Amino acid sequence: MATSGTGPTEGTPITRLRSAEWYEGDDRNAYLHRAWMRRGVPSSAFDGRPQIAIANTASDLTPCNAHLDEVARSVKNGVYEAGGIPLNLPVVSLGETQVRPTAMLWRNMAAMAMEEMFRANPIDGLVLLGGCDKTIPALLMAAASVDLPAVVVPGGPMLNGHFRGTPLGCGTDVWKLSEEVRAGRLGRDTFVRSESSMIRSRGHCNTMGTASTMAVMAEALGTTVPGVAGTPAADSRLLEAAHASGRLAVELVESGRTIGQVLSRGSFLNAIVALAAIGGSTNAVVHLLAIAGRLGIDLTLDDFDSVGADVPLLVNLQPAGTYLMEDLFRAGGPLAVLEQVKHLLDPSAITVTGRPLVEHLTGNPVWDTDVIAPPAAPLVENAGIAVLRGNLAPDGAIVKPAAASPELLLHRGRAVVFDSVEDFHARIDDPDLVVDATSVLVLRGCGPRGYPGMPEVANMPLPARLLEQGVRDMVRICDGRMSGTAYGTVVLHVAPEAAAGGPLALVQDGDEVLLDVAGRRLELLVPDEELRARRAPQATVAAFAEPVRGWERLYVDHVLQADKGADLDFLVGASGSQVARESH
């Protein structure tokens, strides 16, 4: 693991700290700012030392991040050691499994609140502590818009859980076991008994779900101390890395290297390569687009296909494969994976160390080729996300071929349409529902605007009677997202969504749909004239959200579509870190 000893080598050294605007001088305002911060702190704290905020998403209601207070203590030690002043800054936290209606609705709110608090406070640099799915994306979006020096410490995955001798993967095995219950092959009491085995320790989901994916994305983007991502939350090396990150934050401030200087288009293209090689979550697509949007970096949905589609899948982790994050760490971790695809990475994209990412990719051996396959014998040849277009998704939709059934990647079937998640649950097991294994399940009203918040419902459970017949996958199409821990032939993030006037609103039961992943097509095989004559039925429109007040109203009025990262239109871009006016 590289440490902050290899500090930044470029950038414009800072002559006057941002925090000096608050603390410098002997006037009334400087008095106010210092006096209230004293409380046992020596006056040397205000003599020009970097003030480092530890943006901490620890919360008892975000169980995956609950241990971050301990991580923050190690960061503090590192900051002190390097001559800075560490400041714990609790920020909005989102527990993926707990918050309703979906954590994604609150990602932009968390990012907005974090951004404003970073800008409002007397701080010079940031250490970003995240873990659970939306927390690292929100932290990076916020830090990018304020553009201070910043380093991410991913909170790390849980240790492997086992139940009755078999490893249990967070999320993935919940979906699998619950389908087994629905198929009548597993008793409910056994199902419930597996709960505590699944969540064995502190940390976030141990599959290659969104949290693990975004930790690797943070590393591939260059925003972590190289080698941190994937360190289990319970591993003491995480605290060592947290200490090093605290030191590095001080060095970043001294060298004037902001997150906007670290992140380039090349950083994002590197992240896309990493996303494919690890078999990462489809949610990374909306998060990376949103982060890039904050920096004015020209990243498009099509970049995911053109850069990532041919990248081999090397990491054999659930949901695409077998193992869990602890195994990946044991096998060499994300750096060992990146070293295998080094030739595909942009050599100019730098990291918070000031050195290019590729320079950190030597001497990271693979210790277990079952977990990290060699590029010559990958798990899947062309593993990246495929971007589909057609009259059903004019602005694009995505599918993850590595998590899909090969025989369904070219498929023609008749639509079975649901207007909402509630409609889906009410009718999916109705004996009168006309559905068979060749049907295409279509779920709409689940986009950013329609739900609102774009929930993870695209991986619709299959009809119980088909499960009983042994059917394990069907083509499913949705304007929502799916959990990064889910699998199946699921076309998701359809844009524009039905509630934004997308053609998904016009699909009727029995319409023929063509999915052609190799040809990158998603077509509704209904003549154009007929589609033009069709109107979204009343029931469909009634299922779209119409919130009257608060965040939901603001969100629905301003959220962008999935192909633009589902950020709010007025949050795209950066405002920088300057605030001219005083409070008194």
Given the rule CB under 6 A, which residues bind ligand FES?
A: 64, 96-97, 132-133, 170, 204-205, 209, 211
Residue 483: contacted member of Mg ion, ligand FES, none (CB under 5 to 8 Å, by partner type): Mg ion
Cβ neighbours around 425 below 10 Å, total: 13
Residue 384: contacted member of Mg ion, ligand FES, none (CB under 5 to 8 Å, by partner type): none
State the pairing for strand pair 161-163/125-130.
Answer: unpaired
Q: Convert residues 205-224 into a mask of x (bound to Mg ion by CB under 5 A) and - (unbound).
A: -----x--------------
CB nearer to ligand FES: give 204 or 444. Answer: 204
Q: Quick check: helix, strand or coil at residue 136? A: helix
CB of 265 to Mg ion, least distance (A): 27
CB of 159 to ligand FES, least distance (A): 14
CB of 96 to Mg ion, least distance (A): 5
With the CA atoms of 262, 265, 270 and 276 taken in that order, what torsion angle do they form, in degrees rounded to the nearest 10?
A: 140
- Return the structure tokens found at 156: 């790390």
CB of 209 to Mg ion, least distance (A): 6
Q: Is 133 in the site for Mg ion (CB under 5 A)?
A: yes
Residue 64: contacted member of Mg ion, ligand FES, none (CB under 5 to 8 Å, by partner type): ligand FES
Angstrom CA distances, 465 to 181, 435, 474, 549, stand at 13, 10, 13, 42
Residue 132: contacted member of Mg ion, ligand FES, none (CB under 5 to 8 Å, by partner type): ligand FES
Residues 6+ apart with CB under 8 A from 382: 309, 310, 311, 312, 401
Query: By CB under 5 A, which span of 48-56, 184-192, 480-488, 533-541 interacts with Mg ion?
Result: 480-488
Residue 563: contacted member of ligand FES, Mg ion, none (CB under 5 to 8 Å, by partner type): none
16 secondary structure, DSSP code: S
CB nearer to ligand FES: give 86 or 209. Answer: 209
CB of 94 to Mg ion, least distance (A): 10
In 342-474, which ranges are E strands?
A: 386-390, 393-399, 410-418, 440-443
Residue 97: contacted member of ligand FES, Mg ion, none (CB under 5 to 8 Å, by partner type): ligand FES
In the window 48-107, what residues touch Mg ion (CB under 5 A)? 96
Q: Is 483 in the site for Mg ion (CB under 5 A)?
A: yes
Environment class of 575 (CB within 10 Å of its CB; exposed 0-12, middle 13-18, buried 19+): middle
Residues 6+ apart with CB under 8 A from 379: 279, 312, 313, 314, 315, 316, 320, 321, 373, 402
Residues 6+ apart with CB under 8 A from 101: 451, 452, 453, 455
3-state helix, strand, coil in the chain (%, to 5): 40, 15, 45
CA–CA separation, 313 vs 279, rounded Å?
A: 6
Residue 552: contacted member of ligand FES, Mg ion, none (CB under 5 to 8 Å, by partner type): none
CB nearer to ligand FES: give 64 or 507. Answer: 64
CB of 156 to ligand FES, least distance (A): 11
CA–CA separation, 152 vs 155, rounded Å?
A: 9
CB of 411 to Mg ion, least distance (A): 26
Q: Is 479 in the site for Mg ion (CB under 5 A)?
A: no
Q: Is 254 in the site for Mg ion (CB under 5 A)?
A: no
CB nearer to ligand FES: give 92 or 170. Answer: 170
CB of 87 to ligand FES, least distance (A): 26
DSSP per residue over 199-262, as a string?
S-SSSB-SSSSHHHHHHHHHHHHT-B-TT-TT--TT-HHHHHHHHHHHHHHHHHHHHT--HHHH
Q: Is 420 in the site for Mg ion (CB under 5 A)?
A: no
CB of 216 to ligand FES, least distance (A): 13
Chain residues binding Mg ion by CB under 5 A are 96, 133, 210, 483
